[in-house]
Chain A
Amino acid sequence: MRYDNQANRIRKEVLVHVAEAFMSDNPEDAIDHIPIKIRPKGGAASRCCVYKDREVLKYRTMAALGFGVEDETDELTPLRNYFNRALKREAVESVALTVIDIACSACLKSQYLVTNACRGCLGRACQTNCPKDAIEMINGRAVINPDKCVNCGLCMQACPYNAVVRTPVPCEEICPVKAVFKDEDGREVIDHKKCIACGQCARACPFAAIQDRSQMIDVLKMLKSGKKGIALLAPSIVGQFPGDLGRIAAALEQLGFTRIAEVAVGADETVRREAAEWKERIKAGAPFMTTSCCPAYVEAVNKHLPELEKFISHTPSPMAISGRMIKEADFEAVTVFIGPCIAKRTEALNNPNIDYVLTFEELGAILIAAGIDVQECESKPFEHPAQAGGRGFAVSGGVTGAIRAQLAEEQADLKPVCFNGLDSKSLMRLKAAATRDGDGNFIEVMCCEGGCMSGPGVLCNPVVAGRKLAQLLEHS
């Protein structure tokens, strides 16, 4: 489970400042002042000095405006220029994650290390168990020779004093597809040919050096211009803000959205179509079918597991179905998907029915800047409320549950398997499923452990949000 931390808060603080600047009387000036406002002269610094902090904040502000570090050609370009470029942008240009190189701490390469808890004991279980003879005794303490060490970890298991530790590189460690690696300076870079945009690295980095590019300005501009903004709320919205769904909808209306729709309605349709598709495929002799709603998983298959491609359901994701419903009913509608997911940005970029994607964090920042307290809003019922099946998509096992319920009366031989969270090991298991006969004939895959409610853009403790969802499902 991922806990909140200060790195998370500073990232959100920048989003709030950018939204506030947009709404202020002199946005250009306000944007330029963000780094100074957050790190004033003489105030405390998180790094060596306020000046370095401000420089990092400049890049965070750029990311909040939708730009990456790589978009910078001249370091003297003031933030207002990026702001103005963001205002002129007609459509989303790039959704690639960006590494703020000067914020990256260039963590030591992942390694085993003997700490000074080592007593240089007689037993020397570390040395005895090391298969590569990599441990020497220097000044009465065990020292690992990095040239010989193969990172097997046996010394750590063997030491009776727990004196051996492993220091990981958090972003590399969490990446399921090994897309994050070190350049010659030891700083991290992302290989975008491999990256599936799941966003795990961005939240795992203790220095918040990896940032996603926000589309907040594009949405704020659209709302201000009076266009028909339609908010598509992901099923995992439950519990993300204080107050029930109706209050959240009312708050969004105050922001200027014309209509607020639940993506869970699209998910209900996904369930109907996916259940039918599964029956057809199994009848035709396919060994199994996998879900298609998690965009990070779909991207992982496209980039890393091509052998699985033919097993992915062709049923569009709930977001795609919802977007299409809205656009077909009203061609002037501008659709904004609001969810916990960074990978949805990639999916939306390739889907003409979704114009923008916001995370719950970004929506939160906009609400703070606009001074709207969700709890104080008057609850507004949905025009078309979703059913329990669709709403359940927010957690791992939800899709399976909905499909099972859909097929309940048909006595279908559904044997579900759930991949709750993607990492390099589960990807190997998925790969194996494509070539060998697995246990199940319906495979649900969620990139984030726990499902969307544990996604990188969530605001609420997943346990609490899960409980709220369970309560809601009883009444759906």
Chain B
Amino acid sequence: MDELIDVEICTGTTCFVMGAGHLLNLAEELPARLRPHVNICGSHCLGVCGDPRNGRPPFARVNRMLLSNVSAESLIEACDRILIGSKGDRCDAV
């Protein structure tokens, strides 16, 4: 896999307060298998928290896909799915 997986963690005040503030060290907490393949950055308010249909904050986008109530575990899982899926095995997990 050549392209990096883009993880944008929303750091608008709502997301920051509800848990994104605890995720800001994620780049260093990533398991070694993911480190070369993932690019993590904070983003300005994604503007999705106003609509309850989007789920609960904190929000993040993994390769443009919106995830709600994210945690270190759920973001790592999402990256793993993309990474393993793109190699051809466990495609159903994408």
A12–B14 alpha-carbon span in the complex (Å) = 11
Q: Evaluate contact between A9 and B22: CB separation under 8 angstroms.
A: no
Q: Known contacts A4-B71, A461-B23, A464-B24; decide if A9 and B18 are in contact (CB<8 Å).
A: yes
Inter-chain CB contacts under 8 Å: number: 68
Residues of B within 8 A of A365 (CB): 17
Q: Evaluate contact between B56 and A461: CB separation under 8 angstroms.
A: no
| Binding-face segment, A118-126, A225-233, A366-374 | A366-374
Q: Evaluate contact between B18 and A375: CB separation under 8 angstroms.
A: no
Residue A241 at the chain B interface, CB threshold 8 Å: yes
Residues of A within 8 A of B14 (CB): 368, 373
Give the Cβ gap from A1 to chain B, nearest Cβ, in Å. Answer: 10
Residues of A within 8 A of B69 (CB): 9
Residue A379 at the chain B interface, CB threshold 8 Å: no
Residues of A within 8 A of B25 (CB): 461, 463-464
Give the Cβ gap from B72 to chain A, nearest Cβ, in Å. Answer: 7
Say which residue of A4, A372, A464 sits within 8 Å of B13 (CB atoms): A372
Residue A460 at the chain B interface, CB threshold 8 Å: yes
Q: Evaluate contact between A460 and B21: CB separation under 8 angstroms.
A: yes
Residues of A within 8 A of B45 (CB): 373, 375-376
Residues of A within 8 A of B21 (CB): 240, 458-461, 464
A347–B82 alpha-carbon span in the complex (Å) = 51
Closest B residue to A363 using CB positions: B17
Residue A53 at the chain B interface, CB threshold 8 Å: no
Mark B16-55 against chain A: 1 for CB-CB distance below 8 A, else 0.
1111011111001000000000000010110000000000
Mark B48-88 against chain A: 1 for CB-CB distance below 8 A, else 0.
00000000100000000000010110000000000000000
Q: Evaluate contact between B11 and A4: CB separation under 8 angstroms.
A: no
Interface residues of A in 266-283 (CB under 8 A from B): none
Closest B residue to A374 using CB positions: B13
Q: Evaluate contact between A459 and B24: CB separation under 8 angstroms.
A: no
Q: Evaluate contact between A368 and B19: CB separation under 8 angstroms.
A: no
Mark A1-44 against chain B: 1 for CB-CB distance below 8 A, else 0.
00110001100110000000000000000000000000000000
A241–B28 alpha-carbon span in the complex (Å) = 20
Residue A242 at the chain B interface, CB threshold 8 Å: yes
Residue A364 at the chain B interface, CB threshold 8 Å: yes
Residue of A9, A240, A374 with most chain B CB atoms under a 10 A cut-off: A9
Residues of B within 8 A of A464 (CB): 21, 24-25
Q: Evaluate contact between A368 and B17: CB separation under 8 angstroms.
A: yes
Give the Cβ gap from A88 to chain B, nearest Cβ, in Å. Answer: 29
A241–B23 alpha-carbon span in the complex (Å) = 13
A241–B19 alpha-carbon span in the complex (Å) = 11
Q: Evaluate contact between B71 and A241: CB separation under 8 angstroms.
A: no
Q: Known contacts A460-B22, A464-B24; decide if A3 and B72 are in contact (CB<8 Å).
A: yes
A459–B17 alpha-carbon span in the complex (Å) = 6
A261–B23 alpha-carbon span in the complex (Å) = 28
Q: Known contacts A9-B56, A242-B11; decide if A3 and B22 are in contact (CB<8 Å).
A: yes
Give the Cβ gap from B33 to chain A, nearest Cβ, in Å. Answer: 20
Q: Evaluate contact between B19 and A8: CB separation under 8 angstroms.
A: yes
A460–B23 alpha-carbon span in the complex (Å) = 8
Give the Cβ gap from B68 to chain A, nearest Cβ, in Å. Answer: 12
A8–B19 alpha-carbon span in the complex (Å) = 9
Residue A212 at the chain B interface, CB threshold 8 Å: no
Residues of B within 8 A of A4 (CB): 19, 22-23, 71
A240–B17 alpha-carbon span in the complex (Å) = 8
A401–B38 alpha-carbon span in the complex (Å) = 38
Residues of A within 8 A of B22 (CB): 3-4, 459-461
> What are 11 of the A-B contact pairs (CB < 8 Å)?
A4-B19, A4-B71, A9-B56, A241-B16, A242-B13, A361-B17, A373-B12, A375-B44, A459-B21, A461-B24, A463-B28
Given contacts A3-B72, A367-B17, 8 further A-B contacts (CB under 8 A): A3-B22, A4-B23, A367-B13, A368-B17, A368-B18, A375-B11, A461-B24, A464-B24
Residues of A at the B interface (CB closer than 8 Å) are 3-4, 8-9, 12-13, 240-242, 251, 361, 364-365, 367-368, 372-376, 458-461, 463-464
Smallest CB-CB A-B distances: 9 pairs: A364-B17, A4-B22, A460-B21, A459-B21, A464-B24, A242-B11, A461-B25, A373-B13, A4-B19
